[in-house]
Chains A and B, each alone.
Chain A
Amino acid sequence: MREYPDDPEAADVRSLLETLYELAGADFRAYAYSSVKRRMLVQVGRENTGTIAGLEKLVRHDPATRDRLITTLTIHVTAMFRDPAFYRALREELVPMARTYPFIRLWVAGCSTGEEVYSLAILLQEEGLYSRCRIYATDLNERVVQKARHGIFPLSAMQEYTRNYQRAGGTRSFAEYYTADSEFAILRPALRENVVFAVHNLVGDASFNEFHAIFCRNVMIYFNRSLQDRVHGLLYDSLMTYGYLGLGRSETIRFTPHAADYEEVSAREKLFRKIR
């Protein structure tokens, strides 16, 4: 790759990305190079192939290896109520607006394994809004969406999630929201009553509805700048005027073509409102 003259592995990275696109239609070619390469190397270790070129050889012949690599490249790690202050900002800013609408559509774009979807559902339920909401939770990988739909998380994570929940302004006991097994926490099925889980690829798929709020947190950090611009276009087209856009704490819209179309509702929590 000509942009990476100092990286002898750049050609192998590019070649593996092309192979995934060609054989599986999985398009990671506009992902941020450094993080996609790092995940490839993680998979090289797991599959014990020694090199990225070795991993590609295996991926070409073995669909199961291919699927595992795609999952590794897809998943983004998150937590329930990650950045508690973000959820406090939602309670203060989004909730009052939402109360004025008879029906509210929200989109969690790139929902991964669902942690943020359930956090949102809990928040809306506590604010008495959930019955009027529909949350669309999408990710590009069917296996990941399936996992999100199940709403089963490691029990070991619950201590952190409970603390996050309390700091996010939670008003109940967090344990009310799940049943604990010896190993897993199974979230109450009622929390997904108004959630539609679906496969949707931000890279290539079109807008499918108009939303009052869209959450796309720590998803686009894995994209390069030009792909970020395209996805911001898609989110903009999917958001109603005066709708809210929530990004991750260290993301910005400053570099995108839509920067001027939003106002900052909370600069710190990266909550924006579409104004035109």
Chain B
Amino acid sequence: MIVMGGSLGSMAALRLCVQDLPTSFSLPIAVALHRHRESDDALVSLLQRELALAVREVLDKDPLLAGHVHVAPCDYHLLVEPMYFSLSTDDPVQFARPSIDVLFESAASTFGPRAIGVILTGANRDGAHGAREIRRRGGTVIVQDPTTAECDVMPLAAIEAVPDALVRPPQEIGRLLCALANPTPS
């Protein structure tokens, strides 16, 4: 299971990360982006236009589908269960709903070592705690190289929380995800 988070400015980075993933990609991808409470579904159609993978805004209890990019609807938290997503309207966390921490914490608790968290460019510390949870449960944390980030607050906070995170420019993250999804038997 791959979970990704960033603020709205991370759209370009997100595209770079996932544009090279094949449609046969073997893991589900869930994305929480900070955006305005009343923003419409333009984000999903924008992303879809440029990606081979299917992009969907999550409806409650949608199944986790491999090779799909599942986007958190605005004004809901997105959480993962073993087979499907759940949504919640609980209070915003650090002013964010969807909150990256909430998504990452649920992935850590549901998928343990099989959770992969990716933190992209962003303007606050959301995601740092969730990334630490993923790492604590044996999962993998990838952080966009802060020097390539439009806003480095979020990546720096994540690196501080997870000192052994894999730090990469966005165009290399896709390849890394492929390698993690299909480890070559040794």
Q: Do A and B come from one complex?
A: yes
A residues in contact (CB < 8 Å) with B: 3-7, 9, 32-35, 37-39, 76-78, 218, 220-222, 224-225, 228, 248-252, 254-255
Chain B hits for A78, CB < 8 A: 89
Tell me the minimal C-beta distance from B81 to chain A in angstroms.
6
Q: Which of A37, A76, A221, A224 contacts B109 (CB 8 A)?
A: A37
Contact present for A221 and B90 (CB under 8 Å): no
* Interface SS of chain B: mixed
Contacts of B169 in A (CB 8 A): none
Contact B86 A32 (CB under 8 A): yes
Q: Select B112's contact among A7, A77, A220, A228, beta carbons within 8 Å.
A: A7
A-B contact pairs, 23 of them (CB 8 A): A4-B110, A5-B112, A6-B113, A7-B110, A7-B112, A34-B80, A34-B86, A34-B110, A35-B86, A35-B88, A38-B90, A39-B90, A76-B89, A77-B91, A78-B89, A218-B89, A221-B60, A221-B76, A221-B89, A222-B88, A225-B61, A248-B89, A251-B60
B residues lining the A interface (CB < 8 Å): 57-61, 73, 75-77, 79-82, 84, 86-91, 102, 105-106, 109-114, 137
Contacts of A225 in B (CB 8 A): 61, 84
Question: How many Cβ-Cβ contacts under 8 Å join chain A to chain B?
Answer: 81
Question: Are A252 and B113 also in contact (CB < 8 A) when A77-B90, A221-B86 are?
Answer: no
Return chain A residues, CB-CB under 8 Å to B88. Answer: 35, 38, 221-222
How far apart are the CA atoms of A139 and B89 in the complex, in Å?
17
Q: A3 CA to B76 CA in the complex, in Å?
A: 25
Interface of A is mostly: loop
Looking across the interface, which residue of chain B has its beta carbon closest to that of A39? Answer: B90
